[in-house]
Structures are given as structure tokens and as C-alpha cells.
Structure 1
Amino acid sequence: MAASTEIDPESSRPTQMAPSTEIDPERASTSAAPSATNPAAVVLAIIAWWRRKELLERSALVLRPLALIFSLFAFIVCASNRHGDWRNFDRYEEYRYLLAISIFAFLYSAFQVSKQAYRFSTGNDLVPKNYSEIVDFAGDQTMKLATERWKMLHGELAPPRTLEPMAMASPVLEHSKDGLFRVEKQGTCIPTTFPSLSEECAGSSCARLLHHEQPILYTEVEVVTSSPMPQASQDLPRAEINEQDEDTHHLVSPSAMASLSGISSRTPLALFFFFCCCCCCCFAATASAQLSSSFYNASCPNALPIIQSAVKAAVAKERRMGASLLRLHFHDCFVQASPGCDGSVLLDDTSGLTGEKTAGPNNNSLRGFDVVDAIKSKLESACKQVVSCADILAVAARDSVVALGGPSWTVQLGRRDSTTASFSSANSDIPRPDFNLTDLISAFSNKGLATTDMVALSGAHTIGQARCTTFRARIYNDTDIDSSLAASLRSSCPSSGDDDSLAPLDASTPTAFDTCYYRNLLSNKGLLHSDQQLHGGGSTDSQVSSYAANSAKFFGDFASAMVKMGSISPLTGSSGEIRTNCRKTN
């Protein structure tokens, strides 16, 4: 149907009227449902599909933070109402619905990300007691806030009355009795934002006001202000002013509301807020959701049992091997230039690469490479190029401690292998046996580990042995050493030569993971100078005493510190590679 044109007597300019729109009863009855093209509806549908397919649990590293961002986007769209105005009831219902769903989606996604972050940082699972009650409460509060927003804009206690369309005899243009409205009649209705004009509109226009259960679709209505506004129309909501014709105001359909509604001034703020939230979510995802304990559940479900079995066999054959595998993981993570827990310590020297094996702290000292090679070979047979060498070290360290009677913890997985190594960083970053307490605190702090973590991780010296060259200065020069221990060690470690003779770090129980290391420190029986620095009148004395008396406290803190250390700058995603041979790059 062609558009009608009415001449404004004051301006003598034609005013284009919208074509008549016929009401589709089915469409009218479902106008509150989300539009398929509504961006909020689309992203919420994606999240719902992910949840239904359980992808948020299986693909946590990517989809959990992405779902959080999507739900936040839906919330911003609904809160700022980018594609409609809260003052229009037919779209109010849709956006109230979508806003509530976006809150549910955000709560669910935030819970999933928080659970992942908690597991990442502590190694434990976060299980809320009344999660369903929290969600229900959040939903109730969402509806309450939506209602209060309506009251703020309209001063009403409930959504406004809608209009029921009335069939007209002919599609002609008529004026209401006050001459203010020109409404094209066939199947159209007065906009629902005019509840205060019930008397003026119902008498001679195309619709009557009712308490209607279903919202009605918009038609275009033009308000002409060529005559003074009557008192009855003072409650009209303010419409956008056409800059080209200051005498004519337009109330437009929802399809045009995105560009003409009064919320356009709020859009930049909403977009800025959304951008900031996206950045925060991305940083949070990068920091706390990089690794997952279930990383190999689908791609290599037997990975952890294969590693555990190999470690048990190696430790059963030689108890000292447990300490050697634990030390490999420590020396791998502390060389951060490559950049951290990335398997760089396993790389052999080549013509184009000087590895870390020959650096001062590692040369003629690191052991266990053959065990790692054997584990890698078995994993490649089970699932080719899936499990990284860096993850092998992390899991083998945990299994070694358990095999020697120590605590267990949940190992976060998903590290990738570096293609480089740093000889210089291995020399500078790994704490030396002659460090004092200040040096130790600084070295661990540089890796993001607290002093309490440093004292707990030093408890790894309850197993293993050290070379004469690392404790010679202590047994000949230090005064804070038990005299009988010093005399005993001097017999096997002369003041010069024989650098490679060995002595147990914990002479009491050298192959058992326990608290004897700390009890030895209380008696000045620490083998290394750096060991005894933990209990020598400094700030860490009380923690050493606590561990010496409470093995459960030590085990818990050690496990927590191992999780933190294992998370030092891992390579994830597409960074690095998955080596097929841990000794060389692909």
C-alpha cells in the first residue's frame, strides 16, 4: 500500500506517513519473545547450547571465559537497551526476559571460571553448598531491579496498559478529536507509551485502552504540534526531535529505535564498560584458566596412569630417583627466561642451541633424564604428540613425592614445550646453596612466590643428596653448624678435591618425605648454608618450628606451593610445541 501524505497547514510542507501495517495475531501474541536477530538472544542461545552439550566442562580453557564475556555482552545490550527502549512495553517484555537470562548466564559462567581459577591456584575443587539457591536469589533480584527501572522511568507500579486493535472499515486517515494525532487505521494501534491519553485516543481513534495480557506490535504514529498541547496530553513521553523540522516530533517503531531512541547518548558509556569488562575477563582467563587438571581427559585419558606407573617403578628401583625427578621440575620452572615450566631443562646442547644442562646449578647434578625419556616413549605410543614434556615433569614430581610418603596434590595440566633454553638464566635464576635468607626471599619473590612458599618448598630437601662442592664452605667455615655433623662430613668432603662425593640433605631419613629436614634445622644440622638460613634468628624461624612439629601443616603448604610453582609462566594455547622427543625440538 502506498504511503499517505498529509499537508501541515502551518509549514505547508508534506509530511510522509508510514504505510499501514496489518496486525498479525500470532506475531502480536509472541512479540515479547526474543528476536532471532537480537544479539543478546543469539549469544545467550550459544551459551545455552554450550551448556547443554557440556562443552563448558570439557573445553574450560576457552569456552568458560568466552561464555562469561558473552553473558556480559548480553547484559550490557539489555541494560542499555541498544535495540529498543524500556519505555516501550512490547520491547520491555523482551528485554526484561533477556536481562534475567543474561544474569543467569553470567552467574553460571562466572561460577565456572571462578571454580577453574580456585582449582588452578589451590589444587582443590570449589563446591558451593547452595548453588541453586544463589541462582534463584539472583533471578529474583534481577526481576526486582527491572521493575524498579520501569518505575523510575514511568512512575508506575506496574507495566502500562496495552492497546487492543479494532478493525476499521476502510484504510483512511483520520484525526482524533483534539487534532493532535494522525493515525492510519487499518489494523494499527496507538503506541503503548501513551497510557495517559486514554480519553483522547479511545473516543475517535483506531484503538481503545485495555488491560491486555500480550503486548502489541508498533505502528508509526506522528504527533503534530501545530496547536497548543491540551492538558490531557502533558503526560506524553518526550520524543526525539527531528533536527530538520523542529515543529514535528516522531515516535518510531522498534526497528528504528536503535538509531533514534534516547539511549543513544548512553551507548558510548555502555560500549566502554563492555570493552573494559572484556579486557578484565581476558586477563583473568589468561591468568587463571590457562591450565586444567582435566586437560588430557579426552585427548589422552591414560596419560597420568602411565606417568605414575613409570615413576613408581623408577623409585622402587632407586629411592633417590624420586628426589631427582622432583628437582628436575623445580629447575625447569625457575628458569623463567625460557619462560618458565616449559621443559627447557630437558633440551640437549646442539650446534644452534646451548641448553641448561651444563649451567652451574645443573652440571653433573641433574638426574632422571632417562626416566623422562621412557615415560615420553610410552605416552607417544598411547597418544602421539599430545602430552608435553613440561607436563611430564610436573606430574612426575608429584608422583615421586607420593611414592616417598609425601602429600599428593592436583596437578594443573596443559603446558607446552619451549623451543629454546637459557643457559645464562639457569646460572642466574636458580637459588644457590650459599644464599642467605634475604637472597632466598628475593629469588622466590622474583618468581611470584611468597616467603612462606619458599620455606615450604625448601622442605623438598628432606629427600635427596648433595655434592661436596655445594656444602664444603659450610662445614669448614660456618659457625652455626653442629660440630659432630661437621666433623663427620669433613671425612668424606676434603677441603679441596673430590667435589662429587655425596651426602644426604636429611641425614635422619634421607629417602622418606617427612619433617626431619626442619627438625634438623632446629639443631643446626642443615647440610647447606642456604638451608640453615631458614632457622637462624630470622623471620622464617617460626615457620620452620611449625613444620617441625606439624607434618600435616607442612604437607598442606608444600602441596599448595608446588601448584603455584608449577604455574610459573607456562606456555599454553598455540605457544611453543609438543615435543616428540624431550631432548630436542621438533
Structure 2
Amino acid sequence: MAATKTTSTSSKTLLSFFLFFNIIINLNISESKLTLDYYKQTCPQFQQIIQQTVTSKQIQSPTTAAATLRLFLHDCLLPNGCDASVLLSSTPFNKAERDNDINLSLPGDSFDLIVRIKTALELSCPNTVSCSDILATATRDLLIMLGGPHYNVYLGRRDGRASVSSFVDGFLPKPSMTMTQIVSIFTKRGFTVEEMVALSGAHTVGFSHCSEISSDIYNNSSGSGSGYNPRFVEGLKKACGDYKKNPTLSVFNDIMTPNKFDNVYFQNLPKGLGVLKSDHGLFSDPSTKPFVERFAKDQDYFFKVFASSMQKLSLLNVQTGRKGEIRRRCDQIN
């Protein structure tokens, strides 16, 4: 009888262990899933607060949308994915991503927007919403404000605890790169050439600093052979005339509809109206040219591919469940 009782007790203990183990597994699985209504119970005003803050900031500073889109791209394209690591400040012991040379030109309006949203959300639902979810959602909402396509943003990301400047090198496209190098950056992250070209369509809004194009426009007097329309080159030279004295001097990436998200950027490229060397590369390279031509003819199709590519980008290597953290401040780890 004693042996039977002991066996029974052991079986119950073992069963309890497995039940507990399964509960833990199920909790981890549920915590790991991104959902559209992740904050429905914990922060019901999440979407409203973001929309109100985004609208106010964009009206106050019309460059905010393009700035935030660029910030989002520079965060998610890195190997650590969409974890808001680009928002972290450097410390005396570590140089962060945002202080890498390629990120020094990231506009302050985008950082300010995230701070405003985070502050409002912390007052409404403390220690609940991640900075990475804020950045992903704000980017989508700003694109819609400019006339861009809607796409679903799945929520439940957590923020990364590390941000290292040296990890940025080689993972973000530079205007000076060849098209082969730029395509490689995106294909290594799982994007097709078509998706890469669509994401390049983000240049339909925003601006580029004159220092980025100075060597291209001043080393070629006529624009011949460079991909630039000759008259456009002369206009860029005049606009950028004082760039050495004023390093913040910049020009719109899309001179036709600079504040509207549309397909005019692609229509500009065959006319030699691209600002950056990489813009011209999209039209001159045989691997990307067909997509430029299709997007230029069909805005609906461009929007479709752009939206799905942005959603895909927003899901790269996200941290969920017990990974990462919910930062109290977006510029420093807890």
C-alpha cells in the first residue's frame, strides 16, 4: 500500500510539473505573438495618443514625416532589427548607433516626436508601450498623413538593450554605393529587388543634404553622363552654393511634389531629376530599371508593394515575450 501511495503521489507531482511546464510554454508563446490589438486592455488610448501627437508635430514641423520614416528604416535594417536601438544615446563607455557617421544627419524632429509620444503614453499607461512599437506605428500614421498607403502594424515588440555604432557599418545604404552593393544590403535581409526599389520610393518625400551630392554636381558641369538633367544640375548648384559655409543646406528629393507621398519620384528618374547618385542608379541599372518604370506608371501597384515591404521591414528580428524590455525613456536602457 505504501508503495502504491508513493507511486500515486509521484505521478501527481509529475503531472503537476507537466501542467505547470505547459502553462509556462503557453504563456511564452502567447507573449511572443505580435497582434493588432496588443494594447487593447493595457493601454486603450495607445492609438489615439499616437495619432494626436503625430498630427500636432507634423503640422508644427512638416519635415517630421520624412524624418521619422528615415529613422525607422535606419533602425530596422540593422541585424538587431526593429528594436528602437537607434534611439539610444551614447554613454562614456559606448558609442551608440545614432552617433555613427551615417546617422549623424538623422533629423532631430523624428527623435523629438518619439519623446513626445513616449511621454504622453507614460502618463496614460506607465511601463507598458515599447519605443519600438511607437516608432513603427508613428511612421505608418505619418505616411498616411502624406497620402501614402495604409498597412497593418502588428504590436508587441520590446526594446533592445544594446546599441553599438560599429554594428551599423555595411548594413545601411549610402548614396555613394553602387546599385549592386545597395541591392545586396536588402537581399541579405530577405527583400527582393522589387521590394528594395519600392522602399527606395521613400525618397518621394524628404530631403538630402547638399554635402551628399556636392561631388556629383560640381564635378560635372553639364550633367552629361552622370544621369542628371543638365538644367537640373545648374539648379542644384545654385541651391547648394553655400553648402560649405552652411552644412545643413539641403534640397528636396522630389522637386515636383516634395510633401506628398506618391509615385512622382519614380517619374522623375527617367527625366534625370533624381537628386542622389543612388537615385540615378535605380534607373540606369538593368536589375532595378523595370521596377522603376512599373512604379512610375502605376501608383496603386507601387503603394501595394511599398506597404507590404514596410510591414515586412517592421517585423524584422523583433524581440517579444521576455526578450528585451519596455524602456521608461527611449534614449536609455532601464
Please give the range of the TM-score, normalised by the shorter of the 2 chains: 0.7 to 0.9
**Other-structure match for 2:6:** none
2:217 matches 1:475: yes
Answer with 1 or 2: which has the greater Rg.
1
2:122 matches 1:374: no
Q: Distance in 2 between matches of 1:299 and 1:305?
A: 14
For 1:527, give the aligned amino acid.
Answer: V
**Correspondent of 1:319 among 58, 62, 87:** 62
**Other-structure match for 1:357:** 98
Higher helix share: 2
Give the C-alpha shift of residue 559 in structure 1: 0.5
**TM-score, with structure 1 as normaliser:** 0.50
**Other-structure match for 2:134:** 392
Q: Distance in 2 between matches of 1:431 and 1:455?
A: 12
- Residues 491 and 445 of structure 1, relative CA distance in 2, 3 Å threshold: same
What are structure 1's unaligned runs of at least 5 residues?
1-38, 51-58, 65-288
Q: Distance in 2 between matches of 1:583 and 1:343?
A: 9
Higher strand share: 1
**Other-structure match for 1:457:** 199
After superposition, residues 287-436 of structure 1 pair within 5 angstroms as: 290-336=33-79, 339-367=80-108, 368-436=110-178
After superposition, residues 48-197 of structure 1 pair within 5 angstroms as: 62-63=29-30
- Tell me if the contact between 2:77 and 2:171 (Cα under 8 Å) persists in the aligned partners: yes
2:308 matches 1:566: no
Q: Distance in 2 between matches of 1:304 and 1:452?
A: 31
- Residues 438 and 537 of structure 1, relative CA distance in 2, 3 Å threshold: closer
- Tell me if the contact between 1:472 and 1:495 (Cα under 8 Å) persists in the aligned partners: no
For 1:562, give the aligned amino acid.
Answer: M
**Other-structure match for 1:547:** 295
- Tell me if the contact between 1:357 and 1:366 (Cα under 8 Å) persists in the aligned partners: no
Q: Distance in 2 between matches of 1:517 and 1:415?
A: 32
Q: Distance in 2 between matches of 1:425 and 1:528?
A: 25
The secondary structure found in structure 2 opposite 1:491 is: helix
Structure showing greater relative contact order (alpha-carbon pairs closer than 8 Å, 6 or more residues apart): 2
Q: Distance in 2 between matches of 1:515 and 1:61?
A: 42
Give the C-alpha shift of residue 429 in structure 1: 1.2
Q: Distance in 2 between matches of 1:334 and 1:372?
A: 19
- Tell me if the contact between 1:463 and 1:504 (Cα under 8 Å) persists in the aligned partners: yes
- Tell me if the contact between 2:130 and 2:326 (Cα under 8 Å) persists in the aligned partners: yes
- Tell me if the contact between 1:61 and 1:292 (Cα under 8 Å) persists in the aligned partners: no
The secondary structure found in structure 2 opposite 1:509 is: coil
2:186 matches 1:439: no
Q: Distance in 1 between matches of 2:195 and 2:28?
A: 26
For 2:39, give the aligned amino acid.
Answer: Y
- Tell me if the contact between 1:353 and 1:420 (Cα under 8 Å) persists in the aligned partners: no
Q: Distance in 2 between matches of 1:485 and 1:325?
A: 28
Q: Distance in 2 between matches of 1:543 and 1:383?
A: 44
For 1:353, give the aligned amino acid.
Answer: N
- Residues 60 and 326 of structure 1, relative CA distance in 2, 3 Å threshold: farther
Q: Distance in 2 between matches of 1:529 and 1:372?
A: 31
**Correspondent of 1:576 among 298, 321, 324:** 324
**Correspondent of 2:236 among 489, 495, 506:** 489
Q: Distance in 1 between matches of 2:27 and 2:208?
A: 42
Q: Distance in 1 between matches of 2:267 and 2:104?
A: 30
Give the C-alpha shift of residue 456 in structure 1: 0.6
**Correspondent of 1:529 among 247, 259, 277:** 277
Give the C-alpha shift of residue 366 in structure 1: 3.1
Give the C-alpha shift of residue 581 in structure 1: 0.6
Q: Distance in 2 between matches of 1:571 and 1:463?
A: 30
What are structure 2's unaligned runs of at least 5 residues?
1-14, 220-224
Cα deviations by residue, 1:518-564 (Å, 9 ceiling, x for unpaired): 00112121111111111114122111111111111111111100011
The secondary structure found in structure 2 opposite 1:466 is: strand
- Tell me if the contact between 1:476 and 1:495 (Cα under 8 Å) persists in the aligned partners: no
2:279 matches 1:519: no
The secondary structure found in structure 1 opposite 2:236 is: helix
Q: Distance in 2 between matches of 1:61 and 1:507?
A: 49
Q: Distance in 1 between matches of 2:104 and 2:254?
A: 22
Give the C-alpha shift of residue 493 in structure 1: 2.2
2:290 matches 1:505: no
Q: Distance in 2 between matches of 1:442 and 1:537?
A: 14
- Measured on the aligned residues, the alpha-carbon RMSD in Å equals 2.3
The secondary structure found in structure 1 opposite 2:251 is: strand
- Tell me if the contact between 1:506 and 1:516 (Cα under 8 Å) persists in the aligned partners: yes
Give the C-alpha shift of residue 440 in structure 1: 1.2
Identity of aligned residues (%): 35
Runs of 4+ in structure 1 deviating by more than 6 angstroms, as ranges, are none
- Residues 499 and 340 of structure 1, relative CA distance in 2, 3 Å threshold: same
Q: Distance in 2 between matches of 1:291 and 1:521?
A: 38
- Tell me if the contact between 2:85 and 2:163 (Cα under 8 Å) persists in the aligned partners: yes
